[in-house]
Amino acid sequence: METIDYNEGAVILIDKPTTWTSFDVVKKLKFALKVKKIGHAGTLDPLATGLLVICTGKFTKKIDTYQNDAKEYICELTFGKTTPSIDLETDFDGEYPYDHINNENLQTAIASFIGEISQTPPIYSAIKIDGKRAYTLARKGLEAEIKSRLITIYSIDILSFENPILVLRIACSKGTYIRSLVRDLGEKLHSGAYMSNLRRTKIGDFDVANAKTIQDFVKINTTTLPE
């Protein structure tokens, strides 16, 4: 088995577990591989799972390139309730009707989000406002204005729909917040919605099918690394 020099440079595909932050994964690999330069090409929320592209050594110069690639996600959302964070990080803060949602109005609503659209990121996000992360302000109960941005939704496919639970496959551009799409879809359908599960499956040509769990990767590589 060929030994990879991670200090020289490599691309590592990790299937991030739930509750871990993207930084947790980077920190774990930095320590396990004893590398000086390491970073990831696109943050995943702690409650999300799936593909993290980690770059070490000279490949850290490609992080911006990989971050600009299209992403694919499998998103499960639940209609009828909302949370401030638009996921299960925070408690429910509203209930809404959802019995009126059917395949016809759902398809119409989804079609309205395809293409280049203006999207406002969630207040619970890592966007900086006056030098502070938005989620830091949100957790303190402080109000902050987040500007909308242009993003592109390439495709949205319905994988299953058993009201109130909808599962979508979404292909989108850099800068897209799936939680914002969930929020906006709920509002478009005169209801509310929160993201109950999220998994990133692709970044450009990289596929989560080729990724390893952090535990498996560390186990394999810490036993094969040279002294």
Cα–Cα–Cα angle for 205, 29, 131, nearest 5°? Answer: 85
Rounded Cα–Cα distance for residues 33 and 196 (Å) = 34
Contacts (Cβ under 8 Å, ≥6 apart) of 197 = 74, 75, 76
Task: Give me the catalytic one of 15, 45, 87, 184.
Answer: 45
* Residue 92 and residue 84 in contact, taking contact as beta carbons nearer than 8 Å: no
Are residues 169 and 156 in contact, defined by beta-carbon separation less than 8 angstroms? yes
Q: Name 207's Cβ contacts closer than 8 Å, sequence gap at least 6.
A: 51, 201
Residue 196, phi then psi, degrees to nearest 5: -95, -15
Structure tokens at 135: 């989620």
Cα distances from 177 to residues 35, 165, 182, in angstroms, run 31, 19, 9
Q: Which two tokens stand for residue 126?
A: 């890592």
In this structure, the number of other CB atoms found within 10 A of the CB of residue 61 comes to 11
Closest CA to 74 of 42, 51, 92, 90: 51
Q: Please classify residue 131 by burial: count the beta carbons closer than 10 Å to its beta carbon, then call 0-12 exposed, 13-18 middle and 19+ buried.
A: exposed
45 included as an active-site residue: yes
Please give the positions annotated as active site.
45
